[in-house]
């Protein structure tokens, strides 16, 4: 039994959206929630599920209080208006990945897959990508994803909205079959008043207040209308207080006439999804599958990973002879020669500027790659994450999978950039330090942008902010444009580009290139170990931001 008493739901700004409603849903039956647009139907469902802010009231499921969505894991499913699934996956892949996330035993996963895909009538479309499904098929897929955990109660938010009459009837027949054959309690927000015959109990909301709960066949007599389609017009003829008072008087007299409910199923066992590490592995495999399927994203990632190093080399070609002339080991007499010979000073100055600029160019390009890696990663699929979290996905597993993906991608891009440019341009210095500096820059920026992505529900906004962050890396690094002394150490600790640039250059400290750079630059150069430590702090900061952003619920 799902019941609620004196429940009020408020917006983040404190506006009351649903006020002091009390009622219950018929166990094992079809329950409709209806009312004019904006009356609070979806808000009521979200309040019951703990997805919206309750200001007062209680919610109970089988006699136990429900305070957060975690109190209902495995027992209550929520199918939103539009199916939430990755469009690049097939129907079968969507269900199988969902099963691996939420069901431990392989044999049980196979049994549930066969049962659910047959129940919703999608077996013939198992190999079709989600993006190619019709509206009705998408709604059935959404229901299938909820049925994976075999919930005893299924909340459906306008799952028939926008469907043609035939598809709408197919979805409602499926829901009714779940009640009759599976003993499930279905609660459905619906707009089409012509479908009230499908429902055993109807709840009517008006301006956020309850004005009726009972059998749909008694609606016309209760409101004095000849046809149920006239209900909303009738409601507007009187102030909401009139209908609330009339309903409360009626409720005190009892609510006779409900058909006896079918025997409810026994309480479901508490949800026991796979552990966080197991879920992390599943999410990583799914992310790699999606990366390969999304040719646009894959093509862009490959283009910048292998194209940006080529761009650096093209800009370096004209200066390779000068770089070669200064690759020799550090010599104390070299600095004296630079000071005493004007032409030597000019050549060394040009080479130092070239090398410093090429290193900064690599670093800025890697921060751009990091932005591409992380900026859209969470924001673009936030609805999928929130839906899977409601079903039992560990937030820690989700963040870990995203962090491993973008960090691995960033480290590879940094290592490839460092190795390719080093071989072609002949930069001296140890491989390990240079890979650490550039790989650390890309990985740190990837994680920082991942953290920003977790704070937004719009991928476009997250991408825009990440691009701004990259755009300020060069001027705020203080390498190209001199910053006032009062600002240098105020902003520099937060600028990944500086630490990648300085760490890379100090790997060449035993060569004449480094001597030339320090002679013509008054910028302090961090040792590579310190640079790596600061980049590591940036990465940790981005990771903590992602943890916080994914811990808060952002259901839209």
Give 354-399 pLDDT, tens digit per residue: 788 888 999 999 999 999 999 999 999 999 999 999 889 999 999 9
Q: Is residue 482 part of a domain?
A: yes
Closest CA to 176 of 308, 29, 52, 276: 29
Q: Residue for token digits 């136990």?
A: 64
The residue-averaged pLDDT of 289-310 equals 94
Closest CA to 176 of 198, 191, 154, 202: 198
- What's the CA gap between 454 and 395, in Å, rounded? 12
| Residue finishing a domain among 187, 222, 252 | 252
- The dihedral region occupied by 74, where left means phi > 0, alpha psi between -120 and 50, and beta the remainder, is left
Query: Do residues 93 and 31 touch, judged by C-beta distance below 8 A?
Result: no
Q: What tokens were used for 141?
A: 């897929």
Same domain? For 443 and 528 the reply is yes
Considering its fold, how many domains does the chain have in total?
A: 2
Q: DSSP state, 39?
A: S
Residue 475 pLDDT level (bands cut at 50, 70, 90): confident
Residues contacting 233, CB < 8 A, separation 6+: none
- What's the CA gap between 242 and 238, in Å, rounded? 6
Domain that holds residue 213: 2-77+152-252
Query: Do residues 186 and 179 touch, judged by C-beta distance below 8 A?
Result: yes
Same domain? For 202 and 341 the reply is no
Same domain? For 233 and 326 the reply is no
Same domain? For 478 and 364 the reply is yes
Q: What is the pLDDT of residues 226-244, one digit of tens each?
A: 888 899 999 999 999 999 8
- Cα distances from 287 to residues 142, 284, 454, in angstroms, run 20, 5, 16
Q: Is residue 84 part of a domain?
A: no
Q: Is residue 362 part of a domain?
A: yes
Q: What is the CATH number of the domain that holds 26?
A: 3.40.50.300
Query: Do residues 531 and 465 touch, judged by C-beta distance below 8 A?
Result: no
Q: Is residue 272 part of a domain?
A: no
CA angle (540 as vertex; 538, 546 as ends), nearest 5: 105
Q: Is residue 341 part of a domain?
A: yes
| pLDDT over threshold 90, residue 536 | yes
Same domain? For 427 and 493 the reply is yes
| Residue finishing a domain among 218, 252, 286 | 252
Specify the pLDDT at position 324. 53
Same domain? For 301 and 232 the reply is no
Specify the pLDDT at position 266. 52
| Residue finishing a domain among 221, 252, 283 | 252
Residue 544 pLDDT level (bands cut at 50, 70, 90): very high
Residue 216 pLDDT level (bands cut at 50, 70, 90): confident
Residue 256 pLDDT level (bands cut at 50, 70, 90): very low
| pLDDT over threshold 90, residue 330 | no
Same domain? For 246 and 303 the reply is no
Q: Residue for token digits 């897959």?
A: 113
Same domain? For 377 and 480 the reply is yes
Specify the pLDDT at position 365. 95
Query: Do residues 126 and 90 touch, judged by C-beta distance below 8 A?
Result: yes
Among 12-16, 149-153, 377-381, 514-518, the minimum mean pLDDT is found in: 514-518
Residue 523 pLDDT level (bands cut at 50, 70, 90): confident
Q: Average pLDDT of the chain? A: 87
CA angle (58 as vertex; 175, 79 as ends), nearest 5: 25
Residues contacting 299, CB < 8 A, separation 6+: none
Same domain? For 307 and 192 the reply is no
| pLDDT over threshold 90, residue 499 | yes
* Residue 300 C-beta-side C-alpha neighbours within 13 Å: 10
How many helices and strands in the chain, by DSSP H and E? 22, 10
Q: Is residue 368 part of a domain?
A: yes
Query: Do residues 145 and 108 touch, judged by C-beta distance below 8 A?
Result: no
- What's the CA gap between 206 and 218, in Å, rounded? 18
Specify the pLDDT at position 65. 87
- Top pLDDT among 249 and 306 is at 306
Same domain? For 307 and 248 the reply is no
Q: Report the percent of the chain where pLDDT is more than 70.
A: 89
Same domain? For 408 and 479 the reply is yes
CA angle (393 as vertex; 93, 383 as ends), nearest 5: 70
Same domain? For 314 and 245 the reply is no
Q: Is residue 395 part of a domain?
A: yes
Residue 504 pLDDT level (bands cut at 50, 70, 90): very high
In a 3-state reduction of DSSP, which class is residue 167?
helix
Residue 257 pLDDT level (bands cut at 50, 70, 90): very low
Q: Is residue 556 part of a domain?
A: no
Specify the pLDDT at position 313. 87
């Amino acid at each position: 039994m799902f019941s609620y008493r004196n429940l009020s739901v408020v917006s983040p700004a404190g506006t009351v959206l649903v006020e002091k409603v009390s009622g219950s849903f018929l166990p094992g039956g079809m329950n409709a929630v209806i009312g004019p647009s904006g009356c609070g139907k979806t808000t009521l469902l979200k309040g019951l599920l703990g997805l919206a802010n309750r200001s007062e009231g209680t919610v109970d499921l089988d006699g136990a209080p429900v305070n957060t969505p975690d109190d209902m894991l495995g027992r209550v499913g929520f199918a939103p208006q539009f199916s939430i699934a990755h469009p690049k996956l097939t129907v079968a892949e969507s269900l199988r990945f969902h099963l691996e996330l939420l069901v431990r035993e392989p044999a049980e996963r196979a049994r549930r897959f066969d049962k659910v895909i047959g129940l919703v009538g999608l077996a013939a479309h198992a190999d079709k990508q989600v993006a190619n499904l019709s509206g009705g098929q998408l709604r059935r897929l959404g229901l299938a994803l909820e049925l994976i955990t075999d919930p005893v109660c299924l909340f459906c938010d306008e799952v028939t909205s926008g469907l043609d009459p035939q598809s709408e009837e197919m979805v409602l027949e499926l829901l009714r079959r779940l009640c009759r054959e599976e003993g499930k309690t279905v609660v459905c927000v619906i707009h089409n008043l012509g479908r009230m015959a499908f429902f055993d109990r109807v709840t009517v909301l008006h301006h956020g207040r309850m004005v009726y709960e009972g059998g749909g066949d008694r609606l016309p007599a209760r409101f004095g209308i000849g046809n149920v389609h006239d209900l909303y017009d009738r409601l507007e003829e009187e102030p909401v207080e009139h209908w609330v008072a009339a309903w409360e008087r009626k409720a005190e007299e009892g609510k006779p006439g409900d058909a006896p409910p079918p025997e409810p199923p026994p309480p479901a066992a508490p949800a026991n999804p796979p552990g966080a590490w197991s879920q992390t592995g599943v999410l990583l495999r799914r992310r790699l599958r999606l990366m390969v399927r999304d040719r646009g994203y894959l093509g862009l990632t490959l283009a910048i990973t292998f194209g940006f190093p080529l761009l650096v080399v093209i800009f370096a070609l004209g200066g390779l002879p000068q770089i070669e002339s200064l690759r020799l080991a550090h010599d104390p007499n070299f600095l004296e020669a630079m000071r005493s010979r004007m032409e030597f000073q000019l050549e060394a100055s040009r080479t130092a500027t070239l090398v410093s600029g090429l290193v900064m160019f690599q670093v800025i390009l890697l921060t751009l790659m990091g932005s591409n890696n992380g900026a859209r990663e969470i924001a673009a699929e936030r609805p999928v994450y929130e839906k899977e979290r409601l079903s039992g996905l560990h937030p820690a597993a989700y963040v870990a999978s995203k962090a491993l993906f973008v960090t691995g991608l960033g480290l590879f891009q940094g290592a490839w950039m460092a190795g390719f440019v080093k071989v072609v341009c002949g930069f001296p210095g140890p491989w390990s330090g240079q890979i650490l500096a550039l790989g650390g820059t890309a990985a740190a920026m990837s994680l920082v942008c991942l953290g920003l992505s977790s704070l937004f529900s719009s991928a476009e906004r997250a991408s825009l902010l990440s691009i701004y962050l990259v755009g300020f890396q060069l001027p705020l690094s203080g390498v190209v444009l001199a910053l006032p002394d009062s600002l240098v150490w105020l902003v520099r600790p937060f600028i990944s580009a500086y630490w990648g640039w300085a760490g890379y250059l100090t790997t060449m400290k035993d060569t004449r290139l480094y001597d030339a750079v320090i002679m013509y630059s008054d910028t302090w150069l961090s040792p590579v170990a310190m640079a790596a430590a600061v980049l590591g702090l940036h990465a940790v900061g981005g990771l903590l931001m992602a943890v916080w952003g994914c811990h808060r619920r952002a259901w839209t």
